[in-house]
Amino acid sequence: MLQGRREEVPDRGRKKILILGVGNLLLSDEGVGVHVAERMMEMELPPGVEVMEGGTDGFGLMHVILEADRLILVDAVKGGGPPGSVYRFDVEDCPTAPDVFKTSVHQISILEVIHLSGLIGSTPQTTIIGVEPKSTSMGMELSPEVEAEIPKVIRTVQEVVAASLDHFPENRVVSA
């Protein structure tokens, strides 16, 4: 239901691969996921692949996560590398902190939403493409360091998409 590329052809039981960019557009590099999603919306993508922009929504993203068979999440990630570093890891590799949830008064993190979705449905296999931010201060533009790495981020997303398609033979385009 979110903004994104829509499948034009009937899906023939295709698996849904969702590229979900999240972050806050008002906090410069914090919004990198949203910037990447917006650029990928302009690109040709294989059948069954959708791009969406999730802003900083938490619970509100649960339904799109549940509808996906494979999730590729693009977000700012503090991994300690130089600004613009690109990380790629599966959600199981990420030490989601239960401690963080315990102290939560209000919102919960996107990783927690992914875990929670497992309580009412099946959680898709999730890969996170992270980008090390330089600045998360107020501003609607990316820093030059992060901006320069956007092609690499997109390439990394595309590699994950390609690898996922190998696992989903039903998504192969059958020529007439």
Q: Which residues bind other proteins (CB under 8 A)?
A: 1-3, 22-27, 30, 54-60, 62-63, 66, 75-81, 85-89, 93-98, 100-112, 115-116, 119-120, 128, 130, 133, 136, 138-140, 152, 156
Shortest distance (Å) from residue 140 CB to other proteins: 7
Shortest distance (Å) from residue 11 CB to other proteins: 19
What tokens does 20 get?
């979900």
Cβ distance to other proteins smaller for residue 107 or 167:
107
Q: 41 — phi, psi (to 5°)? A: -65, -25
Cβ distance to other proteins smaller for residue 148 or 173:
148
4-32 burial, b at 16+ Cβ within 10 Å, e below that, comes to bbeeeeeeeebbbbbbbbbbebebbbbbb
Cβ distance to other proteins smaller for residue 38 or 47:
38
DSSP 95-132: ---HHHHHT-SS---HHHHHHHHHHHS-PPEEEEEEE-
Shortest distance (Å) from residue 15 CB to other proteins: 21
Cβ distance to other proteins smaller for residue 48 or 54:
54
Shortest distance (Å) from residue 71 CB to other proteins: 14
What tokens does 37 get?
């999603």
To which residue do tokens 């068979």 refer?
69
